[in-house]
Amino acid sequence: LVKEGPISILGRVCSLLENLIHEGDLSSKKLNGIGIGVPGPVDFSVGSLVSPPIMPGWDRYPIIQTVQQWFPTTNVVVDNDVNVMALGEIYQGAGKGVDNLIYVKIGTGIGAGIICESKIYRGSNGCAGDIGHISVDKNGPLCHCGNKGCLEALAAGPAIALRSLNAAQAGKSPILMKYYETNGNVLRAEDVGNASREGDAVALEVIRESGQFIGDVLAGLVNFYNPGMIVIGGGVSNLGDLLLSSIRQSVLRRSLPLATRDLLIVFSEIGTDAGVIGAINLAMDNIFTLLSNRVEAVAD
Amino acid sequence: LVKEGPISILGRVCSLLENLIHEGDLSSKKLNGIGIGVPGPVDFSVGSLVSPPIMPGWDRYPIIQTVQQWFPTTNVVVDNDVNVMALGEIYQGAGKGVDNLIYVKIGTGIGAGIICESKIYRGSNGCAGDIGHISVDKNGPLCHCGNKGCLEALAAGPAIALRSLNAAQAGKSPILMKYYETNGNVLRAEDVGNASREGDAVALEVIRESGQFIGDVLAGLVNFYNPGMIVIGGGVSNLGDLLLSSIRQSVLRRSLPLATRDLLIVFSEIGTDAGVIGAINLAMDNIFTLLSNRVEAVAD
């Protein structure tokens, strides 16, 4: 969808929003803020994507200015989608009240949103949290980034599906093979989850192994960042408690006792709502920042 | 030295400080602040060490209160030593003006100090930056922490010396063997540095390899944290430019292009002065924080 390019997509988003305002019998002048999350690294100071790998045509595209052509009186703010979800988690999710938190989204890719002292931490180029390409196994499978054994190439949805399919095609899992054939020769990560709930040994092993890879990377990040909580979200979190317990086990084995003493590792309770809640709070934070800057300017 | 326990050590430190004040013909009442760095995880809110691995007797010992028995009118602040050095680097070292920085100290152990938006980041339990036990090679040598293949077990001073000694004793380096015998059957990391400057192939290979291990871990941290600069300090940085170029090469190979575009990886220019400068600035920051809190209390 994002591949249609910014003009088409932002146009569609803005017209959907106009419809919503119309349906609610509201005025767009009462729309004080818009918060937007996009799947790529964002230069937050100008609200543009910088070299996004999966969004051709979006590089440095002026998202804020485009949206403001539709809503000229509205304050618009843009951030990376996983950052926005992390913000949602500390406002209304499992991370309420946690100062330092890592939100990990595991789906087609793997990314993290970092909360530092209750705020989004973006890093020096806006690409902090890009944990999908941290090395897990130097001799592991080739990743689309060109390196070998990246976390994403071992534990994201497609990797989980592929390892399961290989085992199924080697005759090790009639259950997975049935899912594969029923779907029209496609096996998805969610099929692996379903097979595991039916007790399929291959599915259980692939999930356990994937949790271990994720946990190995998180163990290093726990030693470095010493967060109070890690929240796991994204489609792969539907694989269930075996994934979570496997992640926890790896982290506990490799992290330092002091860093794990109070550490909680949990699944997101609010799912994709994290993005919506985060975007609302991003927009509100932005308005309050603008207002307080204006008050200071008046006071001077 | 720290193994003598807190009463003896803090007593010695305070009496040295009293002598200094006396020599300078000053009054201890004019000593507004003392900043202290200690080699272990610190609960910053109370200024005590928490389960320090190499400091028996210091666990939760009231350092601030003890020092204030000698200097009752002075504000005392305690932090982890590597945090303090990181602060020194952004005040007067290579990191001047850098918002997000990782300072890596490589000596007998390996630790990092994290600067986040120009301030020390301590994590939820005060142990952020403990990167010495991040896994590099699951099948690597046993670390004193009980795990295998920790960064410290592969690239700290003792590991560099041990790998070199093994090669020397296998007859691969007469130069290193000479250092070993001259020292009285001891080989130190600095000997490996000296041998490398004489062109010894084993020493060069061990240094290159160690830089690669350090770079592998830093590559992951660069993807996660997206710092503007990494400063390398500690004794092992004396091994020279081969170590640095090997670290850089590994980071560039495994980190994302956007995260390395503006990233600088440099040796500390101020060496051990980083600790002194950092402690001074920690003490000053502490005084200004206390003052501004007092001003706010008066204003209320």
pLDDT at B10: 96
pLDDT at A228: 98
Distance, in Å, from the CA atom of A50 to the CA atom of B262, rounded to the nearest integer, reads 14
Pairwise pLDDT comparison (B263 vs A298), residue with the higher score:
B263
Q: What per-residue confidence (pLDDT) applies to A244?
A: 97
pLDDT at A112 over 90: yes
Q: Does residue A257 surpass a pLDDT of 80?
A: yes
pLDDT for A52 equals 85
pLDDT at A250 over 90: yes
**Rounded CA gap, A239 and A67, in Å?**
37
Residue of B nearest to A257 (CA): B51
Give the pLDDT band (50/70/90) at residue A269: very high
Residue of A nearest to B49 (CA): A258
pLDDT over 90 (residue A109): yes
Alpha carbon distance A103, A120 (integer Å): 11
Among A264, A238, A282, which Cα is nearest to A37's? A282
| pLDDT of B55 | 84
pLDDT of B156? 96
Owner of token pair 């595209």: A61
- Per-residue pLDDT tens for A19-45? 999 999 988 888 999 999 999 999 998
- Mark yes or no for CB contact A124/B263 under 8 Å: yes
Give the mean pLDDT of A4-12: 93
Rounded to whole angstroms, how far apart are CA atoms B220 and A112?
13
Spell out which chain A residues touch chain B, with contact meaning CB-CB distance below 8 angstroms. Answer: 41, 50-51, 99-100, 112, 114, 116-117, 121-131, 133-135, 145, 147, 216-217, 219-221, 223-228, 253-254, 256-259, 261-263
Give the model confidence (pLDDT) of A169-187 as tens digits.
999 999 999 999 999 999 9
> What percentage of chain A exceeds 70 in pLDDT?
100
- Asked if B112's CB is within 8 angstroms of A226's CB, the reply is no
- Which three-class secondary structure string do you get for A15-48? HHHHHHHHHCCCCHHHCCEEEEEECCCEECCCCE
pLDDT of amino acid B300: 73
Q: Could you tell me the pLDDT band of residue A268, with boundaries at 50, 70 and 90? A: very high
- DSSP result, A248-270: HHHHHHHS-HHHHSS-EEEE-SS
Predicted pLDDT at A292: 87
Q: CA nearest B123 in A: which residue?
A: A226
The closest alpha carbon to A225, from A104, A139, A140, A125, belongs to A104
In Å, how far are A121, B41, B114, B126 from A118, measured between CA atoms? 9, 22, 17, 16
ipTM score over 0.90, yes or no: yes
Number of residues in chain B: 300
- Please list the pLDDT of chain B residue by residue as tens digits (300 residues): 777 889 999 999 999 999 999 999 988 888 999 999 999 999 999 999 988 877 889 999 999 999 999 999 999 999 999 999 999 999 999 999 999 999 999 999 999 999 999 999 999 999 999 999 999 998 999 998 889 999 999 999 999 999 999 999 999 999 999 999 999 999 999 999 999 999 999 999 999 999 999 999 999 999 999 999 999 999 998 999 999 999 999 999 999 888 999 999 999 999 999 999 999 999 999 999 988 888 888 877
The tally of CA atoms less than 13 A away on the side-chain side of residue B157 is: 18
